[in-house]
Amino acid sequence: MERKLVKVGLMGFGTVGTGVIRLIQGHQEDLFKQTGVSIEVAKILVRDKAKPRSIDGLDEQVTDKPDDLLQDPQIDVIVEVIGGIHPAKEYILAALEHGKHVVTANKDLMALHGAEILEKAQEKGCDVFYEASVAGGIPILRALVEGFSSDRITKMMGIVNGTTNYILTKMSEEGAAYADVLKEAQALGYAEADPTSDVEGFDAARKMAILSTLGFRVPLRLEDVEVKGISKVSREDIAYGKKLGYAVKLIGLAQRDGEEIEVSVQPTMVHKTHPLASVNGVFNAVYVHGEAVGETMFYGPGAGELPTATAVVSDLVTVVKNMKLGVNGRGMVAPYKEKVLKDDSNKLSRYFLRMIVTDKRGVLAQLTQLLAENNISLVQVLQQPYNAGAQAEIILVTHQAAKRDMDAVLAILADLDIIVEVKSCYRVEGEEE
């Protein structure tokens, strides 16, 4: 590539799009030193041209016509930050059809249609990079593709949603109720007016689908991810967890044993010795275990204008470098391995179980026998009076057990006379046995 200017078409002029323009305008010298070319935002696609913007002087670049970007032969790269599935999918596929490289921050789209988009990119010899779709400014996707290219990843475990991490952190630090902290998070702008995608785990599930597809080279889909949110987590759960040495976190887990894979998002008791237990506030972190390298962890801000925009511009720099080297289309590899999902008999975990029982002799022995009959043994037991001594509260932490066996126990407990209520059941990660 001999020319000294690369033109970019930016789709979206919201928070992240504004950050992308600020970085490109403010870092021209650094970008030129890294790439040997100047990078210019030639066109910006918006829905409403009349809407006021926080950056002035871009009236000539702003358009509401997608073809001004897609049909312009001078534009080499499309940066998509409009979000949503449609029309973003159609825009990206059209850009690839026209031989344009793509950088996107669109986790929803890549979680649902990433395999199709990557296959089209390979067919057309184009780059598609989407670092910002998973953990904002943390360079986790590039690490999976490049840093672990000679290793075999067996486990990825992460806090990949800052909103839920903020809520759980505040509940832990202040002993506050979930509903109260959620209102505070909404007032601060950390949670949306409709927080369902965050608090019910769907946002994290999309990110884990993307991580699993890349890390395991398998076409994981969103429906392959088992999802449970944090709306039922109580301050009592958090207090008892803390007493036993655990922090409650919404954990995305992707694990491979042999060729079998499981992917889930659920509130988890993380032992205080595990590095994820100390990731607090709106920060994200992804823990990766490789057969050769062992344990690594990536930590940083998971959202925001500049962290996310930094990941987008970093991907843009990679595209431009690839253009100079003539190696576009060889970076992100489309999934090529067969998907084999574990059944519940092969999903192994320790469990935290909290229940209210009738306060009479032999209850704990009866529970222990029930667990033993279902192949579950105990690590920790905590019992104390409840409801002024009329009942008892029992907290159990198990050794590793199959999900099938734990589900069978929970079904039996629901019908036992000695059980007043099963309050909660969580996976346990990180404890040293």
Q: What is the pLDDT of residue 340?
A: 97
Do 88 and 170 sit in the same domain of this protein?
A: no
Q: How far is CA 412 from the centre of its chain?
A: 34
Asked whether residue 60 falls in the same domain as residue 126, the answer is: yes
- The DSSP string of 357-393 is EE--TTHHHHHHHHHHHTT--EEEEEEEEETTTTEEE
> What was the pLDDT predicted at 301?
84
pLDDT at 333: 65
CATH number for 80: 3.40.50.720
Same domain, 114 and 191: no
Give the bridge partners for 77, in sequence order: 8, 101
Question: What CATH number should be reported for the domain holding residue 162?
Answer: 3.30.360.10
172 three-state secondary structure:
helix
Q: Which of 124, 207, 347, 403 is catalytic?
A: 207
pLDDT at 147: 83
For 197-214, write each residue's pLDDT tens digit.
Answer: 999 999 999 999 999 998
User: In this structure, what is the dihedral angle of CA atoms 129, 132, 134, 140, given to the nearest 10 degrees?
Assistant: 70
- Domains: count for the chain: 3
Number of continuous H segments (helices) and E segments (strands) in the chain: 15, 17
Distance separating alpha carbons of residues 430 and 280, to the nearest angstrom: 17
Tell me whether residue 175 is in a domain.
Answer: yes
With respect to residue 336, please indicate whether it lies within any of the assigned structural domains.
no
Residue 201 lies in a domain: yes
207 is catalytic: yes
Residues pairing with 49 in the sheet: none
Please check whether residue 334 lies inside any domain of the structure: no
**CA-to-CA distance for 356 and 184, rounded, in angstroms?**
31
Low-confidence ranges of the chain (pLDDT < 70): 1-3, 331-334, 432-433
Per-residue b or e along 301-319, where b marks 16 or more CB atoms closer than 10 Å to that residue's CB:
bbbbbbbbbbbbbbbbbbb
Residues 211 and 250 in one domain: yes
DSSP secondary structure code for residue 110 in this structure? H
Task: Please indicate, yes or no, whether residues 113 and 156 belong to a single structural domain of this protein.
Answer: no
> Are residue 14 and residue 91 in the same domain, yes or no?
yes
This prediction's pTM: 0.91
| Residue span of the structural domain in which 362 resides | 348-428
In a domain, 330, yes or no: no
Q: Which of 325, 359, 382 is the last residue of a domain?
A: 325
